[in-house]
Structure 1
């Protein structure tokens, strides 16, 4: 009986070790696939990019492409978005979308646009979302760096707003200004019930950024049903996401998403001391272009 027990125990131990190794191998494969989602190997095997959505902001803010929002911000009762705020203007010898934030009475007004176009990669498809953005402020006729402001919170992101966050949210760029300093991050939100994010801050990935123009890219990749997200700034990868980063993350449930640009001010959750908000005369978010491309893998 002792021999049988030992034999059974040995078999169970071997089975457990094999299962753990198999699970580790699976996670490694998933992580490695995420690493190659924007690699030369994928590019060589993939089909050509085809443009799905684009705006170079050459004339006006197209109402057929964008919804200009009237609402309070999601995270700040201090910020009110008004539909007349987003406009197309010339800046740095470029025709750009301009969102401007400024004090109005005892609150702040700003701009928010949401694309009418929505997207999600099918099996063995990849989407690329790209935008060129500059953040800056102005006091009278003098320009100020974004980092010199306090309480500005611009963002470039994609989301399914209905029943948020059950369809996921991808923050490609969020900037936070603290007066002579700033930080930037990408992030994800997801949950199985409306209004409940299960990821907490586990998906936040901070990255360095400087003043001036920057190109931000999201690669949203579906390889044989496995979904990966890669965030690049000026061609350099700053974040890679796959289901293994959090036990509650289900990237396969993300989408379809719309594209959003907004310039929030302040916070209801203590990110900023709202009494210290300083936008100078105005703080601006300029977008030179946004493109959404798709290819088969």
Structure 2
């Protein structure tokens, strides 16, 4: 998510942490389901995967497993995160995390960001699977609009170690950029450096989602996954969309990347608006109608030996 060079001085600021997970007990899944492509948003959950973390955002639950940000986005002076924004709502008949935007003025939007108190990274000969079902949607008054009809929205699902960023890395599973009337863009990305505040990869690790990706398919719901493994001290990160591989990263796939120095990471969901780089997102063109929303049905982390 942190891709604009202007933010590097701010990135060393660590967010506070709230209490630990409501569900610390590990749980072994025994049912067998698959993550085949073609918009199947079921998750792999069969043994030998063991659940490490879960939040289903059921109505009536709290966000006590998360820290809610209260600050301006590092990438955009136009977006302020308010801790009151992330909430649990019923959407499409499901209990969901909802992060929604509100226009405060011609140059300022309010939105939300949450970061898990839970952290993870693979030990040698283990693999972690982080996954979330997410829907992006807009509203114009009482009428729903496609995310692809908006301009200037920047939602993301990612994991990171913010302390001394990017020395312990960042994994962007999904970053979305709305550019209507032009086509919206979705990518994965990695960030890494050997000194605090200095990303030595630039955007050389950015990988576009397939051009065939239909955001509005499957009623807008899609499964976004990160598989992070270490096998005989060789680290691999694989990003999947609805069960199909988007990108695979190893140390040899990106110059100056060292995945062995990554972690431990927290999980982040946020919905940014605009950019400090007006050539990237023109602030004069921002159009979110009444609001843009990110709905997250669930998020899980599983672990297995490999």
Q: TM-score range by the shorter chain?
A: 0.7 to 0.9
Question: For 2:87 and 2:96, how far apart are their aligned partners in 1?
Answer: 8
Measured against aligned partners, the alpha-carbon deviations of 1:61-120 in whole angstroms (never above 9, x if no partner) come to 634310011011010000000000000001111110000012112300001000000000
Which whole-Å deviations, capped at 9, do the CAs of 1:235-263 have from their partners, x for residues lacking one?
Answer: 00000000002231000000000000000
Query: Higher Cα Rg: structure 1 or 2?
Result: 1
8 Å Cα contact 2:62/2:88 also seen in 1 = no
| 1:144-185 Cα distance to aligned partner (Å, 9 max, x none) | 100100000000000000000001000000000001320100
Name 2:28's counterpart in structure 1.
none
Alignment coverage as a number of residue pairs: 253
> Secondary structure at 1:117's aligned position in 2?
coil
Q: Name 2:166's counterpart in structure 1.
A: 165
Whether 2:262 is the aligned partner of 1:254: answer: yes
CA displacement 1:29-62 (0-9 Å, x = unmatched): xxxxxxxxx9xxxxxxx97111110000003563
The correspondence of residues 48-197 of structure 1 with structure 2, limited to 5 A, is 48-59=48-59, 62-105=62-105, 106-180=107-181, 181-197=183-199
1:291 matched to which residue of 2? 300
Secondary structure (helix, strand or coil) at the match of 2:276 reads coil
- Aligned pair partner of 2:248 in 237, 240, 247: 240
Assess if the C-alpha contact under 8 Å between 1:66 and 1:113 holds in 2: yes
Give the one of 225, 228, 237 matched to 2:233. 225
Give 2:6's aligned residue.
Answer: none
| Contact 1:61–1:87 (8 Å) recurs in 2 | no
| TM-score, L = length of structure 2 | 0.80
SS of 1:192's equivalent? Answer: coil
Q: Could you tell me whether the CA contact under 8 Å between 2:119 and 2:265 is conserved in 1?
A: yes
Q: Which runs of 5+ in 1 are unaligned?
A: 1-37, 39-45
Rounded Cα–Cα distance in structure 1 between residues aligned with 2:151 and 2:51: 37
Contact 2:58 2:95 in 1 (8 A): yes
Rounded to whole Å, the distance in 2 between the matches of 1:253 and 1:47 is 29
| 1:239/1:198 CA distance change after superposition, 3 Å | same
The aligned counterpart of 2:289 is 280
Secondary structure of the residue aligned to 1:118 is coil
Q: 1:62 to 1:253 in 2, by over 3 A?
A: farther
Quick one: distance in 1 between partners of 2:141 and 2:174?
28
CA–CA distance in structure 1, aligned partners of residues 59 and 195 of structure 2: 41
Moved over 6 A (4+): none
Q: For structure 2, which runs of at least 5 residues remain unmatched after alignment?
A: 1-34, 36-45
In structure 1, distance between residues paired with 2:61 and 2:179:
30
Matches of 2:272 and 2:195, distance apart in 1: 25
